[in-house]
Amino acid sequence: MARSIVITSGKGGVGKTTLVANLGRSLADLGQRVVLMDTDLGLNNLDVLMNIENKVVFDIIDVIENRCRTAQALIEDKTVKGLFVLPSCHSYDASKINGQNIKAVVSGLARSFDYILLDCPAGIEVGFHRAVSAAGEAIVVTTPHISSIRDADKVIALLKSYQIDPISIIVNRARGDLILNSEMVDYKDIGRILKTPPLGVVPEDDAINLLSNLGLTVDSKSDGFSAIALLAKNLHCGTTEMFDVTKKYKGILGGLKRNLRKII
C-alpha cells in the first residue's frame, strides 16, 4: 500500500514543486514506484517542471470524471524508471473537484505504487483542504526566513486538525555561509521553533533554480541532488542524516569563499 504524502507550505515560492519532482526522482532511484500529483488544478507547474506538457493525453479530471482509467493518464519519466506523473488539467473550474475526488484517485493508485506525492497549492483555502484530505502524511516546506517559518507554523497547526501523521519539515534554500556567520537560523533551530522534526535540509543551489526553469530535475553532481537524495533516504528508511550546508564554507578555503560571497 502506498504512502500518500502531501508537500505543503502555506507560503508560495518556497520550493514545493521543485522538491516534489526531485524527491520523487530520488525515491525512484531507491527502487520505489512513485506517482507525482499536482493538486494545484489548472496551473500545471509540476507538468512543466517534469517536461511532460506535450505528452499529456488524459489528465486528472479525465480520471475523476471517468473518461479514462488512471493507468491511461499516467506518464512515466523518460529517464527515471518507476517515476510517474499524473498530469494536472490545463483549465478547469477547480471548485467542482473536492477532497473526496482526489482521495478516490489516490486510493486507486495506492495498490500499485509505493509513494504518492501530492504537490499542494499555496495558501490554506480550498486547494489546501483538497490536497490534505487525500493524504496520510505531510511534509511542510519552509525556507529559513521569518515569514516562511511563521506560515509553516500556521500550516502545522492546521494539519494537526486533520488525521495526518507524521508531519515533518524540510528546510529549503539554506545558506551555509550565512548560518556560519550567524545571519541565518539553521534547521535545528527551525525544528525547535516549529516543534516538528526536520526530514531534510536543502541548500540554496543555483543548479536547482536553473534546471527547474528548463524543465529538468537537478543534476546528480550538485549539492542540491545530494541533499535531496539524503532526505529521500530519511523518508524511506527512517534515518535522520542531514546534508551539511556549512561544510564547504569551513576551513581556510571555506572561510575565503564565505567572505567572497559577502563581498559579491
Provide the binding-site residues for ligand ADP, judged by CB under 6 A: 9, 12-18, 45, 122, 172-173, 202, 204-205, 208-209, 212, 224
Phi, psi of 197 (to 5 degrees): -70, 135
Nearer to ligand ADP, 4 or 45 (CB): 45
Amino acid at 81: K
Amino acid at 40: D
Closest CB 195 distance from Mg ion, rounded Å: 26
> Could you tell me which of 250, 118, 72, 236 has the C-alpha nearest to residue 177?
250
Nearer to ligand ADP, 58 or 128 (CB): 128
Closest CB 96 distance from ligand ADP, rounded Å: 23
Output the nine-digit C-alpha cell for 109.
Answer: 493508485
Phi, psi of 6 (to 5 degrees): -90, 135
Residue 18's binding partner, choosing from ligand ADP, Mg ion, none, with beta-carbon cut-off 5 to 8 A by kind? ligand ADP
Closest CB 224 distance from ligand ADP, rounded Å: 6
Is 17 a residue that touches Mg ion (CB under 5 A)?
A: yes
DSSP 18-47: HHHHHHHHHHHHTT--EEEEE-STTT-HHH
Closest CB 238 distance from ligand ADP, rounded Å: 24
Site track for Mg ion across 38-77, x = CB under 5 A: -------x--------------------------------
Nearer to Mg ion, 26 or 45 (CB): 45
The packing angle between helices 146-159 and 187-194, to 10°, is 40
